Amino acid sequence: MIGKKFSVLPGFSLTLGYTLLYLSGIVLIPIGVLVLKALEISGSDFWRLVTTDRALAAYRLTFGASFVAASINAVFGTMLAWVLVRYDFPGRRFFDALVDFPFALPTAVAGLTFSNLFSANGWLGHYLVPLGIKGAFTPLGVVIALTFVGLPFAVRTLQPVLENMEREVEEAAATLGAGRLRTFVSVIGPALLPTIITGFALAFARAIGEYGSVVFISGNLPYKTEIAPFLIVMRLEEYDYAGAVAMAVVLLGASFVLLAAINALEIWASHFEN
């Protein structure tokens, strides 16, 4: 046994078999069935189903609102992660725990809460609507809900990097006469940029498939506030299975593209750190 690496898990073949079995049942088989159902649709019918005016409007809102929400989380999530890591203040652990609240809270509850808050007679909407800021049953409401569900991805992706970042580099930059802005732009920013982009991509991917928190606050108005996942559900309720499968494949393809981008970013970040 001397010189051999000890592992508490069973042999490679057994653990690999369990891994493939688990992934097949949870991920690969459902995706495969969806793709097979899509292959039953002719190319012309598939294109027609995914390019209807209503579907295109749903795509624009879904991807546009997801991009805006992920961008907001990339900026303010970075600030939040910085404060939670670099500063010690009363209630820091409480605020740090709140970051994971979107994971624990049912998305439908979040959607109901936001719709009540930002409606015309809600606690916040009562003051915002007279100013022309309508947060409920508008695209702005969709952005608010997607920002809420994507926040943990931006913060939790960045926190470990900030915790492991050596402060000696910042101190060295300060001793050389660099100000705070110069230090951030030249030293801190380049080191954090790959991770910030990865958090943005994760939040963006999460927002694309979000349904529960959006369905209540958006109002689901066709061509205006209807997201792609809701339209897929509507197609199923109308027994238009071909239309639902076609749109689901479009979102699946977008998810795969984002997954590939996230993996590429992680590889780039690892080379950057080395």
Considering the domain delimited by 42-273, tell me its CATH architecture: Orthogonal Bundle (1.10)
For the residues 122-130, what does the mean pLDDT come to?
90
User: Per residue in 45-78, pLDDT tens?
Assistant: 999 999 999 999 999 999 999 999 999 999 999 9
pLDDT computed for residue 70 by the predictor: 95
Provide the residue ranges of all domains of the chain, joining segments of one domain with +. 42-273
User: Per residue in 24-33, pLDDT tens?
Assistant: 888 888 888 8
User: Per residue in 160-179, pLDDT tens?
Assistant: 988 887 777 766 767 766 67
For the residues 35-42, what does the mean pLDDT come to?
90
Could you give the 3-state DSSP secondary structure of residue 5?
coil
Q: Rounded to an integer, what distance in angstroms lies between the CA atom of residue 64 and that of residue 140?
A: 11
Percent of the residues in the chain that have a pLDDT greater than 90, as a whole number: 47
pLDDT above 50 (res 1): no
